[in-house]
């Protein structure tokens, strides 16, 4: 371990001499008879522990520590006091201006242990700051990676999907057996993964932005957006919104979009009357939303697991991300969700979101 650099400020020369004599072999010691001289040393030496006497002619030890809290925040501060000044000590401790105080005359063992503990606190502070800097760097790299996913990766994917659509328009989709269909399926699946990844990332990064939410408009936009995948699914919508609702529009859209998309996606192929029922009841305290379908349903043993990241039932062809994102988004806005389902009978989700008005 490197030698601990200690600065001791005291207007009494005898105390400085005694400190040097007692600890010169254990620490690299710097001394000053005034706060101004101590300030000069701090500007030229990387001090790790500062000891200051409380009662000095021009400035108290507590006030000196406060004065250097912004310019020299790293050194850990110990106060020596020969009299009881509880109010000043309590204020200094509460504001983080001092690490510990020791009464004079000091006990060598107590002061030695205090310096060692203060140095450990100093090292921990520096390591924490380095870890934070490392995390910030990693976060910046993650931001660039997400940007790459949303732009550089998705752009060629959209082009490939566009080519498939051109093939369909020209009547050549079935000309090569099932190959074009396989390409379309893979492209759609990859696009779905990219979109869910972006949703998950934005849900964690985006701060809540409270604004007015019009559920009539929002629900219709989401139905129009997702119903293109299955035109045979019929929607029955009942919205009661006689009062203003304020909430996180981004996360509410993510929640409802995933649930409506799932309600369409997991319909039974042989069902002749595919339907999704959406009920929205806006009250002054909260909105209650119920989304039901008559689709494939979920096994009872799976109901507690469906909100787990990457959980997929054997009959489920999804990614295991959609409902996990729903639960994460609800947690961000203090919402609640309940689910009931029966195999081949359909699924009902009930969501409650507080009104932020």
Same domain, yes or no, for 158 and 289? no
- 344 and 251 in one domain? yes
Residue 314 in this model has a pLDDT that exceeds 60: no
User: Greater confidence, 151 or 253?
Assistant: 253
Q: What is the pLDDT of residues 291-313, one digit of tens each?
A: 999 998 888 888 878 888 766 66
Residue 112 lies in a domain: no
pLDDT interval class at 251 (50, 70, 90): very high
Domain count within the chain: 3
Last residue of a domain, one of 205, 228, 243: 205
Does 124 map to a domain?
A: no
Answer yes or no: is 160 within a domain. Answer: yes
Of 139-148, 154-163, 314-323, the range with the highest mean pLDDT is 154-163
Specify the DSSP element, H or E, that contains 51.
strand 49-53
3-state percent breakdown (helix, strand, coil) of the chain, nearest 5:
50, 20, 30
Whether residue 159 is predicted with pLDDT greater than 80 in this model: the reply is yes
Instruction: Determine the Cα–Cα distance for residues 61 and 277; give it in Å rounded to an integer.
Output: 71
Beta-bridge partner residues of 7? 30, 50
Range of the domain at 185: 138-205
* Shared-domain flag, residues 51 and 147: no
Instruction: Judge if 38 and 76 occupy the same domain.
Output: yes
Please report, for the domain that includes residue 339, its CATH number: 3.30.565.10
If asked whether residues 176 and 86 sit together in one domain, one would say no
- pLDDT of amino acid 316: 52
Digit-coded pLDDT (tens) for 88-97? 666 666 665 7
Contact 334, 266 (CB under 8 A): no
| Residue 322: band (very low, low, confident or very high) from pLDDT cuts 50, 70, 90 | confident
Average pLDDT, the chain: 87
If asked whether residues 237 and 344 sit together in one domain, one would say yes
Q: Is residue 154 situated within a structural domain?
A: yes
The pLDDT value recorded for residue 186 is 86
- End position of a domain, from candidates 106, 126, 157: 106
Same domain, yes or no: 179 and 248: no
Output the pLDDT for position 84: 59
Same domain, 309 and 234: yes
Distance CA 149, CA 301 (A): 35
**Residues 214, 193: one domain?**
no
Asked whether residue 122 is assigned to any structural domain, the reply reads no
Please state, in angstroms and rounded to a whole number, the distance separating the CA atoms of residues 301 and 89: 60
Task: Give residue 88's pLDDT.
Answer: 63
Q: Is the same domain home to 176 and 48?
A: no
**Is 120 part of any domain?**
no
Q: Read off the CATH number of the domain in which 88 is found.
A: 3.40.50.2300
159 and 219 assigned to the same domain? no
With respect to residue 314, please indicate whether it lies within any of the assigned structural domains: yes
Burial annotation 131-149 (CB, 10 A radius, 16+ → b, else e): eeeeeeeeeeeeeeebeee
> Looking at 177, 205, 233, which one is the last position of a domain?
205
Q: Is 98 in the same domain as 172?
A: no
Any domain includes 266: yes
């Amino acid at each position: 371990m490197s030698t601990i650099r200690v600065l001791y400020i005291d207007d009494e020369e005898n105390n400085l001499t005694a400190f040097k004599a007692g600890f010169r072999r254990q620490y690299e010691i710097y001394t000053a008879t005034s706060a101004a001289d101590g300030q000069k040393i701090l500007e030229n030496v990387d001090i790790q522990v500062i000891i200051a006497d409380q009662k000095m002619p021009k400035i108290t030890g507590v006030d000196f520590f406060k004065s250097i809290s912004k310019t020299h925040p790293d050194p850990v501060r110990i106060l020596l006091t020969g009299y009881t000044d509880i109010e000043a000590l309590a204020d200094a401790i509460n504001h983080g201006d001092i690490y510990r105080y020791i009464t004079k005359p000091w006990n060598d063992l107590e002061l030695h242990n205090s310096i060692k503990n203060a140095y450990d606190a100093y090292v921990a502070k520096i390591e924490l700051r380095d870890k934070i800097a490392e995390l910030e760097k990693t976060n910046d790299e993650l931001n660039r990676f997400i940007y790459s996913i949303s732009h550089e990766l998705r752009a060629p994917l959209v082009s490939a999907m566009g080519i498939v659509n051109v093939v369909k328009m020209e009547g050549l989709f079935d000309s090569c057996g099932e190959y074009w269909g396989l390409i379309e399926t893979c492209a759609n699946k990859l696009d779905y993964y990219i979109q869910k990844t972006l949703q998950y990332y934005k849900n964690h990064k985006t701060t809540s932005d409270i604004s007015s939410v019009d559920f009539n408009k929002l629900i219709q936009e989401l139905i129009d957006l997702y119903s293109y995948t299955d035109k045979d699914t019929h929607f029955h919508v009942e919205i009661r919104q006689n009062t203003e609702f304020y909430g996180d529009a981004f996360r509410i859209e993510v929640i409802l979009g995933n649930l409506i998309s799932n309600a369409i996606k997991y319909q039974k192929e042989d069902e002749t009357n595919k339907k999704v029922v959406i009920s929205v009841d806006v009250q002054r305290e909260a909105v209650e939303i119920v989304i039901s379908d008559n689709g494939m349903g979920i096994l009872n043993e799976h109901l507690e697991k469906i909100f787990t990241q990457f959980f997929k039932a054997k009959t489920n062809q999804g990614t295991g991300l959609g409902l996990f994102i729903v639960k994460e988004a609800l947690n961000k806005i203090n919402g609640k969700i309940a689910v009931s389902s029966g195999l081949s009978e359909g699924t009902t989700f009930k969501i409650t979101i507080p009104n932020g008005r």
